[in-house]
């Protein structure tokens, strides 16, 4: 599907939040991921306060970054810093939103330790960009590519797979611990990202994030 066809489809079928004086919608993508709705609400609020008419668009992980790098959308709610930095037209906005863990999550009834990554008889759900964050040569298991993070947990619960590489923060970890085993692999940062055409907005976005983030984090921890 060509990019412009995708955007027309999204603008037709996804509602937007509008308080704007902007001449055209501000397209804000987000991946569907547990407990990320709070971040989506935060950035809809930020861009609305900056005077934009915001269209919030759910996308698969890789598709969202491609659309942003191509300039077909304006911003993405939250991405892994080290991955977003590999796209030349994407600006990683500071400050970071959170330090999170790249983690191995396992079904409750199976062995679960870091060495599982080197077991060539085991299948692990992951996307390629997450695997690239591991140490060279560490991953030798059977890679089952998955770009739809929302489906990973369902596949584990349905016993279709027993292992996955996932990004987890303390909010997710507390909730996941009841259902899965968790092995922390690596600490990484998550950041908001924008297309470079909006570099002029960068100071205003950063100011908004710095002002809102402490209270946002307090409310998020209390909420979940």
pLDDT at 22: 44
Higher-scoring residue by pLDDT: 97, 34: 97
How many alpha carbons fall within 13 Å on the CB side of residue 48? Answer: 13
pTM: 0.84
Question: 19 pLDDT exceeds 80?
Answer: no
> Over the stretch 117-171, which tens digit does the pLDDT of each residue have?
999 999 999 988 889 899 999 999 999 988 777 788 889 888 899 999 999 988 8
Question: 86 pLDDT exceeds 50?
Answer: yes
Query: What does pLDDT average to over the chain?
Result: 88
**Residues comprising the chain, all counted:** 224
Task: Give the whole-number percent of the chain exceeding pLDDT 90.
Answer: 67
> Over the stretch 160-212, which tens digit does the pLDDT of each residue have?
999 999 999 888 888 788 889 999 999 999 999 999 999 999 999 999 999 99
pLDDT at 62: 86
> Domains in the chain and their CATH numbers?
3-97+190-223 (3.40.190.10), 100-188 (3.40.190.10)
pLDDT at 23: 60
Q: Is the dihedral of CA 166, 168, 171, 173 positive or negative?
A: positive
Give the integer Cα–Cα distance in Å for 183 and 161.
17
- Find, among 72, 63, 1, the residue nearest to 30 by Cα: 63
Burial annotation 36-51 (CB, 10 A radius, 16+ → b, else e): beebbebbbebbbeee
């Amino acid at each position: 599907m060509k990019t412009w066809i995708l955007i027309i489809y999204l603008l037709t079928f996804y509602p937007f939040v509008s308080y704007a004086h902007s001449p055209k919608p501000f397209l804000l993508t987000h991946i569907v991921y547990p407990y990320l709705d709070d971040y989506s609400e935060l950035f809809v609020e930020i861009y609305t306060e900056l005077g934009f008419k915001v269209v919030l668009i759910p996308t698969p992980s890789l598709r969202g970054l491609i659309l942003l790098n191509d300039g077909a959308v304006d911003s993405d709610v939250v991405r892994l810093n080290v991955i977003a930095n590999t796209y030349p037209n994407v600006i990683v906005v500071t400050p970071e939103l959170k330090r999170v863990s790249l983690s191995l999550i396992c079904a409750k009834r199976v062995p679960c330790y870091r060495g599982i990554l080197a077991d060539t008889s085991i299948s692990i759900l992951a996307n390629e960009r997450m695997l690239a964050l591991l140490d060279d040569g560490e991953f030798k298991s059977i890679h089952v590519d998955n770009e739809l993070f929302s489906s990973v947990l369902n596949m584990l619960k349905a016993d279709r797979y027993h292992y996955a590489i996932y990004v987890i923060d303390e909010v997710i970890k507390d909730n996941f611990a009841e259902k899965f085993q968790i092995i922390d692999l690596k600490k990484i940062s998550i950041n908001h990202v924008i297309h470079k055409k909006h570099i002029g907005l960068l100071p205003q976005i950063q100011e908004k994030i710095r002002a809102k983030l402490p209270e946002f984090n307090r409310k998020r921890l209390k909420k979940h």
